[in-house]
Amino acid sequence: MSAETHPVQTLTITAPDDWHLHLRDGAALATTVPHAAASVRRAICMPNLVPPVTTTAQALAYRERILAQVPADLRQCFEPLMTLYLTDNTSPSEIDAAMASGVVRAVKLYPAGATTNSAEGVTNIDHCTDVLAKMESVGLPLLVHGEVTHAHVDIFDREKRFIDDVLINIINKFPALKIVFEHITTSDAADFVLAQGKQVAATITPQHLLMNRNDLLVGGIKPHLYCLPVLKRQSHQQVLLDVATSGNPKFFMGTDSAPHATHAKENACGCAGCYTAPFALALYAEAFERMGKLDKLEGFCGVYGARFYGLPVNTDTITLVRTPWQVPTSYPYLDGHSLTPLLAGQTLNWQVQTDAPQTADLPTAG
């Protein structure tokens, strides 16, 4: 679908939340937390640290480290929502502790070896039966990185195989378990989510809406477009655009923004992940406008995720303005290193309105 004949110049929507975000830890937080806090009101913070966040006590400590890096003027505007990293040895009692904490909002399933810092993930979902039963009974959502890791399975088929081999079995055994199928990348995943009850939802990243595997591979491999799950065919991209912009509350914003130092991305064995946190809303606006569906952006970014998690929808708003600006070529990161964002140096048409002129360093959501 083509963009509108008379383009919208401003768009005021409910302030957004990011339901899938990587902040990392230690010195990285000095960069990632201010970016996130200026861009969204709440963020589901991923637990794949080194070592991973496997207990409620660790999640609470991590939350304090995050909050310590929130700029003073944003401390009333940003709330980190914590998650636990599911392992073969996670206990039902840990789920009780998570619920009692009031800040742990989900548990993350990483198949062992599927992505960054997932070596301690689940080796066999059957090891987690008691934990999943407890989560189902107390209403704590399961977030899934939906790929199998078998070496013989083609990387472009791993999401579909996860549905067939793992996810269907989880849903059959635990039909009331709330599940977020994170960063879906295929029509198979979109169709699967659509076919399930209201307890199953999905997040979609900006890169999977704006790009496909041609962008990654044609003319040479682009390391800053490499993420997991990997970008798929254009036909899959189109289905993701269709469902994201449909107004169906099963699909909502989850950037999977993942920081890696530039030298680690531009490497013979580069890291997987795209960094989009400072300007993700502008990227989503680009995608929705291409579909002529800017009117659906508010639900996707600011409403549906909160409702799925049983949280109040934000009461404040942000305004996007059509003002072209250039994505920074890099951000300072980790003691003299740099962090290259997605679409570095390229022009975006949308930005969040601020009291001051937009800077190249940090788009804000104020």
Active site residues: 256
User: Which of 227, 338, 237 shows the shortest CA–CA distance to 274?
Assistant: 227
What is the C-alpha to C-alpha distance for residues 121 and 185, in angstroms, rounded to an integer? 21
Instruction: Decide: helix, strand or coil at residue 246.
Output: coil
What is the C-alpha to C-alpha distance for residues 261 and 26, in angstroms, rounded to an integer? 14
Annotated ligand binding at 127? The verdict is no
Q: Which residues on neighbouring strands pair with residue 69, listed in sequence order?
A: none
Annotated ligand binding at 228? The verdict is yes
Annotated ligand binding at 20? The verdict is yes
DSSP per-residue letters across 172-236? HH-TT--EEETT--SHHHHHHHHHS-TTEEEEE-HHHHH--HHHHHTTS--GGG--SSPP--HHH
Annotated ligand binding at 272? The verdict is yes
Annotated ligand binding at 24? The verdict is yes
Residue 192, phi then psi, degrees to nearest 5: -65, -45
49: tokens are 């640290």
Annotated ligand binding at 48? The verdict is yes
Annotated ligand binding at 84? The verdict is no
Residues whose CB falls within 8 Å of the CB of residue 316, separated by 6 or more in sequence, listed in order: 14, 15, 41
Helical spans, DSSP H, in the chain: 29-37, 56-67, 92-101, 129-138, 158-162, 168-173, 187-195, 206-210, 213-217, 234-244, 262-265, 280-290, 297-298, 304-309
Annotated ligand binding at 23? The verdict is yes
- Which residues are part of a known binding site for Zn(2+)? 20, 22, 108, 145, 183, 256
- Which residues are part of a known binding site for substrate? 22-24, 48, 145, 228, 260, 272
- Which residues are part of a known binding site? 20, 22-24, 48, 108, 145, 183, 228, 256, 260, 272
